[in-house]
Amino acid sequence: MFAWKKLGKVFTPQAVEGRVWLKEFAQAPATLVFSDFVRVYFSCRPTADANGQYVSYSTYVDLERSDLFKIRKVAEKPILGLGDLGEFDEFGIYPVSIARHADEVRAYYAGWTRCESVPFNVAIGCAVSRDGGNTFVKLGNGPVLSYSPDEPFVLSGPKIRRFDNRWYLWYIAGRKWKIVAGRPEPVYKIRMATSEDGIQWNKVNKDLIDSRIEADEAQASPDVFEANGKYHMFFCYRYSSDYRNREKGYRIGYAWSSNLIDWRRDDARAGIDVSTEGWDSEMVSYPHVFELDGRTYLAYLGNQVGRYGFGLAVLDGQLK
């Protein structure tokens, strides 16, 4: 079992002032390391509208590299505007995954629209930054990864990586909408696609991670990290119904692979669970692994899927 030492909550959106679009939630942290600070991209929300509905934006906070608990700056604006009327990302850009490549920084993001029979649908878009990750421009006003015969809806949670000169995208694909207490709840599984240019994608078209707690287990945040000759995936999973609580809410799972396609799930090794009290006492979710100055860190969300921010853990030892 990996030995993650929890360091506590790093960022609390409620503490930020002067940004109407950043009132609650700091979801799905994704890091980009600079010479003297670490930029953490995350997704946030303004207060809900009169009908209790939210939109999501993505933005970033810069943490001091020498002390990740010191905030240097919070972005003045979201990194991307919401889509136009009828477009796939009209009602939310969440989550976002970031990768540096050559002289650009790419963002892959999930765009949200609202539907009549189910609450939402999601597809994956792409944007590029040419100023080191401060501002981004969408490559188009449609998605870069969309629905296909075997992946009919809810393509979300992108995690972009580059190994051996190829682009890899891990994401989730909706399997079904399950009616729970009269309300449709999405069931989704972890999938992947590969690409030479990051724009034309070839889907693998199979579930990568076996379901463990139930057949309709929902899986999210497939965060892949290479260390010691293996690929390590941390992800989160939950029950399909009545999951907004400690008992059935998100937990962090683990799988490893030697070829990026065949994964062996071994949640017993994940090494991080809910705390007995505090900000992550009901759930732990949306893991993101990054390396900094010789140490391996895990950024993750706590209760209510990051409503009150994200925290950090540091690994005692190595991923192997």
Partner 1 sequence: MRWHKLGKIFDPAEHILANDCSQYAQSPQALVFDDFVRIYFSTRAVDKHNGKFLSHVAFVDMKKNLRDVIRVSDKTVIPLGGLGCFDEHGIFPMNVLRHGGAVYGYTCGWNRRVSVSVDTAIGLAISRDGGETFQRIGPGPVLAPSLHEPCLVGDGFVKRFGEIFHMWYIFGTGWKKYSADAAPDRTYKIGHATSLNGVDWAKEEARRIIRDRLGPTESQALPTVVEFGGRYHMFFCYRESADFRTHKGRGYRIGHAVSDDLRDWLRDDEASLLAGTPGDWDADMQCYPHAFGCDGSVYLLYNGNEFGRCGFGLAKLIP
Tokens found for residue 33 = 């390391």
Binding site for partner 1 (CB under 8 A): 83-88, 90-91, 113-118, 121, 123, 126, 139-144, 146-154, 174, 176-177, 179, 184, 186, 199
> Which lies closer to partner 1 via its Cβ, residue 31 or residue 56?
56
> Which lies closer to partner 1 via its Cβ, residue 57 or residue 153?
153
Find the helix or strand (DSSP H, E) in which 303 lies: helix 303-306
We find the least distance from the C-beta atom of residue 86 to partner 1, in angstroms, to be 4
We find the least distance from the C-beta atom of residue 143 to partner 1, in angstroms, to be 6
We find the least distance from the C-beta atom of residue 142 to partner 1, in angstroms, to be 4
Angle (CA) 51 57 61, round 5°: 135
We find the least distance from the C-beta atom of residue 240 to partner 1, in angstroms, to be 14
Residues linked to residue 186 through DSSP beta bridges, in sequence order: 177
Residue tagged 């506590």 (tokens): 8
> Which lies closer to partner 1 via its Cβ, residue 142 or residue 278?
142
> Which lies closer to partner 1 via its Cβ, residue 178 or residue 307?
178
We find the least distance from the C-beta atom of residue 10 to partner 1, in angstroms, to be 34
Can you tell me the distance from the alpha carbon of 188 to that of 218, in angstroms, rounded to the nearest whole number?
5
- Among 22, 12, 9, 10, which Cα is nearest to 58's? 22
- The residues, ordered by sequence, that sit 6+ positions from 256 with a Cβ below 8 Å of its Cβ are 230, 231, 232, 233, 263, 264, 266
> Which lies closer to partner 1 via its Cβ, residue 110 or residue 154?
154
Residue tagged 């895990």 (tokens): 298
